[in-house]
Amino acid sequence: MCQMNAVVERQGKVELLRENLTRLDVLPEGIRLTTLFEGPVDFADMRIDSIDFLAGKAFLQHQGI
């Protein structure tokens, strides 16, 4: 089984938010990430920028940037 990682670019560097995602939910106020070993965590003011299925990465971006 291959899980995704969620990353965000900040100040020109890619930062890992969560790894081993089992679920990604789009909420009106942001994104909810659930991992294999942790419960759900909400990230306010975030949106999906792109998803690279081959690399196993979901690229998130702060809304308004």
For the stretch 9-58, pLDDT in tens is: 888 899 999 999 999 999 999 999 999 888 999 999 999 999 999 999 99
**List of residues 6+ apart from 14 with CB closer than 8 A:** 7, 8
Half-sphere exposure of 7 (CA within 13 A, CB side): 15
1 has pLDDT over 80: no
| Spatial separation of the C-alpha atoms in residues 15 and 9, rounded to whole Å | 6
Check residues 26 and 63 and name the one with the higher pLDDT. 26
DSSP 2-17: --EEEEEEETTEEEEE
| Spatial separation of the C-alpha atoms in residues 46 and 24, rounded to whole Å | 12
pTM for this predicted structure: 0.85
- The tokens 């991992």 sit on which residue? 35
Please tell me the predicted confidence (pLDDT) of residue 2.
Answer: 67
